């Protein structure tokens, strides 16, 4: 995209020179040469804004279990940071500490300031930073929430992990069992749901129709809460349309 822009400017300058005869050849050459430099400086300033953070130290790196979302591997994602959007950024999401980590060009691990992260896309999941008392209920924590369904009956999920230790042959083995929290937006507030009963209780007028959402494709609620809750919320929006 930048190369196309530079070439476009080049031909614009060339046309202006031939039409008006007001720009000398040497002057034109200097102007053309300045464009790539200017773009490079601008891009460098933006990159410095993203990579100007504290170093992140990989703890429990040798443990079999880990503190990250999905895998302990760098994945390319998108992040909106300090008002700027950055694409194809190598990142990992530390669920235990609720922090986003990116990989610098030199290999360093950089910890982004959470309050400057508006959202990030990672492995087809949209994580948004929601503030307690502003974006979510007062009793809900400020942090990153996975937006499972973004319709009228918005459904979000807070992914967490807990660090535990067990002793095996006198060695300390760290473990990171997940603990997830689901919330459905209804009547202007988020409602915490975990069981099938708690979800259906939010939609008593359509309980019968909503049960079919799980019955027909044989979705087991306990084994796949994420898919089950999301489909129920989406189906409710279809049924509740005027």
All structural domains of the chain with their residue ranges: 2-51, 54-193
Task: Give the Å distances, CA to CA, from 39 to 44, 46, 144, 208.
Answer: 8, 11, 33, 59
What single string gives the DSSP state of each residue in 142-168?
A: SEEEEEEE-SSS-EEEEEEE--EEEEE
What is the pairing mode between strands 178-186 and 189-193? antiparallel
The pLDDT of residue 241: 85
Q: What is the pLDDT along the chain (242 residues), one digit of tens a residue?
A: 443 444 444 444 444 444 444 445 555 455 545 555 454 444 555 567 899 889 999 999 999 999 999 999 999 999 999 999 999 999 999 999 999 999 998 999 999 999 999 999 999 999 999 999 999 999 999 999 999 999 999 999 999 999 999 999 889 999 999 999 999 999 999 999 999 999 999 999 999 999 999 987 889 999 999 999 999 999 999 999 87
Is residue 19 exposed (0-12), middle (13-18) or buried (19+ Cβ within 10 Å)?
exposed
Q: Provide the residue count of the chain.
A: 242
21: left (phi over 0), alpha (psi -120 to 50) or beta: left
Distance CA 123, CA 73 (A): 11
* CA-based nearest residue to 197, from 172, 180, 222, 175: 222
The pLDDT of residue 105: 87
The pLDDT of residue 46: 55
pTM of the model: 0.80
> DSSP 3-state assignment of 182?
strand
The pLDDT of residue 213: 92
Distance CA 222, CA 90 (A): 33
What would you measure as the largest C-alpha separation in the chain, in angstroms?
85
Distance CA 64, CA 68 (A): 12
């Amino acid at each position: 995209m930048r190369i196309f822009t530079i070439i476009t400017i080049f031909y614009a300058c060339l046309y202006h020179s031939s039409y008006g005869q007001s720009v000398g050849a040497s002057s034109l050459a200097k102007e053309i040469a300045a464009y790539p430099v200017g773009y490079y400086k601008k891009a460098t300033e933006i990159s410095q804004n993203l990579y100007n953070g504290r170093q992140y130290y990989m703890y429990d790196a040798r443990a079999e279990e880990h503190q990250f979302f999905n895998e302990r591997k760098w994945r390319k994602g998108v992040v909106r940071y300090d008002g700027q959007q950055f694409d194809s950024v190598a990142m990992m999401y530390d669920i235990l500490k609720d922090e986003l980590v990116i990989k610098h060009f030199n290999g360093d691990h950089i910890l982004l300031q959470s309050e400057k992260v508006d959202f990030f896309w990672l492995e087809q999941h949209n994580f948004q930073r929601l503030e307690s008392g502003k974006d979510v209920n007062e009793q809900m924590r400020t942090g990153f929430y996975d937006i499972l369904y973004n319709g009228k009956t918005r459904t979000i999920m807070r992914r967490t992990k807990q660090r535990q230790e067990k002793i095996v042959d006198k060695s300390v083995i760290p473990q990171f069992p997940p603990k997830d929290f689901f919330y459905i937006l209804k009547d202007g507030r988020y409602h915490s749901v975990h069981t099938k009963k708690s979800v259906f209780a939010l939609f008593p007028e359509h309980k019968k129709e909503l049960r079919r959402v799980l019955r027909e494709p044989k979705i087991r609620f306990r084994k796949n809460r994420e898919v089950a809750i999301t489909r129920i919320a989406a189906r409710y929006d279809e049924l509740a349309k005027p």
